[in-house]
Structure 1
Amino acid sequence: MKMSQEKLALLKEKKAVLEGHFILTSGRHARTYIQCARILQDPKATTQLIGELLKQMEYLDIDLVIGPATGGIILAYEAARQLEVDAIFSEREKGEMVLRRGFEIPQGARVLVMEDVVTTGGSVMEVIRQVEKSGGQVVAVGLLADRTGGKVDFKVPTYRVFSKEIKSYEPEKCPLCQRGIAAIRPGSRALK
């Protein structure tokens, strides 16, 4: 699904599209960064976008929504609120995605995984494995922004609000690094 001009305009209006030299959560480098937190600070826009996403999933029976910390927490909560089901989140502990805080996935639960932005899909794949390991069944993935333009495959139906391929590079092949341009880490792992 291509990103509509209206959605791109919303990203730009909310100053969620940044240009420069960025180190992504995946470790890859890019000229363009999508800062979904700038959209998620607006409850009305968040409610509208998640509602639009959930309309695409109307045929699904969902018992629980989960998102990886930190990017997926607000999205999972809002999706669960609209679906009238519970929301939980997974978080990293010693580098591994785990459930904490007493969160559990009931055996056989039909689970929706929500995430803000994917570049490689690594965090979402970790959450999917965690759900399956806990005895749940992932029925879909919902994304606010897909930087792969739809190329990432989670082996379940995947729904996207924004989808556009945005080139990223391994650090050793980054043309911005080769030109000596300093990189910044704007995301949730910026303090590491």
Structure 2
Amino acid sequence: MTNEDVLECFREAGALLEGHFILSSGRRSPVFLQKALVFSQPELAARLCNALAERVREKFGKIDVVAGPAVGGIIPGYELARQLGCRSIFAERVEGELQFRRGFSIAEGERILIAEDIVTTGLSFRETVVALSKLPGEVVGGSCVIDRSNGKADVGCELVALAQVDFPDYAPDELPDELKDVPAVKPGSRGLA
């Protein structure tokens, strides 16, 4: 599956949006990937995660546990685990820190893959690496459907992306003229009460 094939899945779901968006990082962009629309469609989620599972197997071999951050990593993590034939768990934010709760456990020696939907700055990924460092098992790497940083984000481990894109993003005080007069919207979930 090529970058364009992945973006076509987002277009098919009405999930490749154009306008003025406030990203989870606080930065601004004329493009937003509303991944919830893609992952609300099981056929699209399966198609994307099947292709990602092939790349994960090639790069990392056998995986025992797929772990992702809530909210963005839950559905792609589950579907990726289904494709890889392993368990899926997710971390939740507790008092500002990602933790694995709900009886989720990892055994000594289990090979862990981190899964995320979209990587922009890598913050959620790095926080998941920290949460997993408190548990037994070995983080062998990470995966995402789209790496919006085009390989530039520090995710704290080796990353396999189904697609890499380089959509522009800006600091709020450095907006280009074409975005300055367009009202900004924040469609993401980070920071919701």
- Provide the TM-score with structure 1 as the length reference: 0.89
Question: For residue 83 of structure 1, what is the amino acid of its counterpart?
Answer: L
Note the 1:25-174 alignment, pairs <5 A.
25-59=24-58, 60-154=61-155, 156-174=157-175
Return 148-157 or 88-97, whichever deviates more. 148-157
Q: Deviations over 1:73-118 (max 9, x none)?
A: 0011111112221111011122211112122232332101110111
Give the structure 2 partner of residue 6 of structure 1: 5
Distance in 2 between the 1:18 and 1:184 partners?
Answer: 11
Structure 2: which 5+ residue stretches go unaligned?
A: none
Return 9-18 or 154-163, whichever deviates more. 154-163
Contact 1:3/1:164, CA 8 A, preserved across alignment: no
Distance in 2 between the 1:166 and 1:186 partners?
Answer: 17
Alpha carbons of structure 1 residues 155 and 17: separation in structure 2 relative to 1, 3 Å: same
Distance in 2 between the 1:171 and 1:103 partners?
Answer: 39
Q: How many residue pairs align between the two structures?
A: 191
Deviation at 1:37, TM superposition (A): 1.2
Return 19-28 or 7-16, whichever deviates more. 7-16
What is the identity percentage for the equivalent residue pairs of Structure 1 and Structure 2? 39
Alpha carbons of structure 1 residues 30 and 108: separation in structure 2 relative to 1, 3 Å: same
Question: For residue 130 of structure 1, what is the amino acid of its counterpart?
Answer: A
Contact 2:121/2:154, CA 8 A, preserved across alignment: no
SS at match of 1:101: coil
Distance in 1 between the 2:185 and 2:179 partners?
Answer: 15
SS at match of 1:56: helix
Question: For residue 138 of structure 2, what is the amino acid of its counterpart?
Answer: Q
Deviation at 1:177, TM superposition (A): 9.9
Q: Runs (4+) of structure 1 moved beyond 6 Å?
A: none
Distance in 2 between the 1:183 and 1:133 partners?
Answer: 38
Quote the RMSD (CA, aligned, Å).
2.2
Alpha carbons of structure 1 residues 26 and 187: separation in structure 2 relative to 1, 3 Å: same
